[in-house]
Structure 1
Amino acid sequence: MPLLLALETSSTVCSVALYKGEQLLGSSELQIEKSHSSHITVMISQLLSNCNVELKQVSAVAVSGGPGSYTGLRIGSSAAKGLCFSLDIPLIEVSTLHGLAAQVIEATPNPERFLYCPMIDARRMEVYTCLLNHKLEEVVSIAPVIVSEGFLEKELLEQSVIFFGSGASKLKSLKKGVANALFINSILPSAKPVGRLALEKYKQEAFEDVAYYEPFYLKEVHITAPTKNKVN
């Protein structure tokens, strides 16, 4: 059975998990903002040690590929690519939104009754989101969306939709009184669903090109130089 190392750094959560096939051997998680770059390699090393696994035994690295924090995604992808290059093993990408949804679907009785809408805060009233069924098939594709009262209005007339993730609170007040709009708090990105979802991709050999892989930022990132104070 393959040993899959999973990384999740797309948000304020820094998380790593190790799987042997479908079996979770161990995981580690920090919820300290801006800690990823200084902790990710230490967390990987400690996790492998705790599970009595050597780095050279890892079969593939799975990474949460976005959308999410630009800096966080860069750190996660850099760590994953570095490991894959040095070990000559495959790189697997898992959608951050699919990883969020997998947590809710697995904990929902009769999950086929609902649609699932993971939402990642993208500042102001914008979110990164999509709409999924219980098989993680996209009913509405991943996109940046400005939250409004009419968001998913048609879908909510036909079926119950569960909203969750860091951006869901922006919609909650707008959907007050809508019977089919259900909200769950405290669903955070985690490496554990990343590892679970990566196993099927590993079996299908759905690997990324390590040399050219870039995270799914969804929007272009604009970096500007700081403005210097002018002297009159």
Structure 2
Amino acid sequence: MPQLLAIDTSSAWCSVALSLDHQDPILRHEEVSAGASRLLLPWIDEVLAQANQSLASLDAIAIGIGPGAFTGVRLGVAAVQGLALSTDLPVIPVVSLDAIAAQLTKSVQFKDHDPQHFVVAIDARMEEIYWAKYRSNGMDCLPIRISEIQLSKPEDIDLDQVDYLAGSALKAYESRLFGRYSLPAQACDGDIAISALGILDYAKQLWAEGKQIPVTKLEPLYIRNKVALTTAEREAIFSQGVNGG
């Protein structure tokens, strides 16, 4: 198992997790609003000290690259750029919606409902949402994203043949999400928030697939500038990262 540090500051939560061999991850995860810039580096030092590890002893640093709050995403990416450059560690970029999907599939409510297809949708502010569709992939496997990441008005979300909906968009725009489709209350989870544990889950899979990249290739994911990267574009970025490292 890789030894990974995972960071996410793309939301109102500051989240840091450390995964070592087969031990349970060490986690610091709190809702801090604008306080992440003050807490992030001390929390990283704290979890490393708790594990009696140095940053340089790790295999890679995983980072939530968005979509999410612009300032928060930039903070996390900038911090990882500095940390990885100082230790010559590779980085593993993780999309925030993928991390939420990974966490969601472990929840009791999700398992009880056992959906085949689901959507993760988060508040993008400015009366818009970020969202993507996923397919469940078995009890012990991460879900598979089956759509590109979308930015749209809440009314334009596509819930056709979707069994479950989760994310902060539910609390922000619930009445506007179900104009064309409806879901029972037990098939909705508006409380789940991104955590570094979800970043870790996806990062482990990306590490196994050899998709770590040099820190010089690390960039935030800005959906507002481009609706979504195509599958070919994503694969090209990973290929450039591996070949350029």
What residue is the counterpart of 2:182 in the other structure?
Answer: 178
Q: Distance in 2 between matches of 1:188 and 1:196?
A: 15
User: TM-score, with normalisation over the residues of structure 2?
Assistant: 0.80
Q: Which runs of 4+ in 1 moved over 4 A?
A: none
- Residue of structure 1 equivalent to 2:118: 116
Q: Report SS of the residue matched to 1:216.
A: coil
Per the alignment, residue 28 of structure 2 pairs with 28
After superposition, residues 85-164 of structure 1 pair within 5 angstroms as 85-107=85-107, 108-109=110-111, 113-135=115-137, 136-148=143-155, 151-153=157-159, 155=160, 158-160=161-163, 162-164=164-166
Identify which of 219, 233, 237 aligns with 1:214: 219
- Hey, which of these two has a bigger chunk of helix by percent? 2
Shift of residue 143 of structure 1?
A: 1.4
Shift of 1:171: 4.4
Which segment is superposed worse, 56-65 or 210-219?
210-219
The TM-score, its normalising length taken from structure 1, stands at 0.84
Shift of 1:140: 2.4
| Distance across 2 between alignment mates of 1:116 and 1:159 | 5
Aligned length: 216
Q: Report how far residue 27 of structure 1 moved.
A: 0.6
The runs of 5 or more residues in structure 2 that have no matched partner are: 138-142, 227-245
CA shift digits 1:55-94 (9 cap, x unpaired): 2211100001110011101111111111111111110011
Query: Which runs of no fewer than 5 residues in structure 1 stay unpaired?
Result: 222-232
**1:137 Cα deviation (Å)?**
2.0
Structure with a larger share of its residues in strand: 1
Q: Percent identity?
A: 27
C-alpha distance in 1 between matches for 2:22 and 2:169: 30
The two structures, once aligned, show a CA RMSD in angstroms of 2.2
How far apart are 1:9 and its partner, in Å? 0.5
Whether 2:193 is the aligned partner of 1:188: answer yes
The higher radius of gyration belongs to: 1
The whole-number CA distance in structure 2 between the counterparts of 1:197 and 1:20 is 15
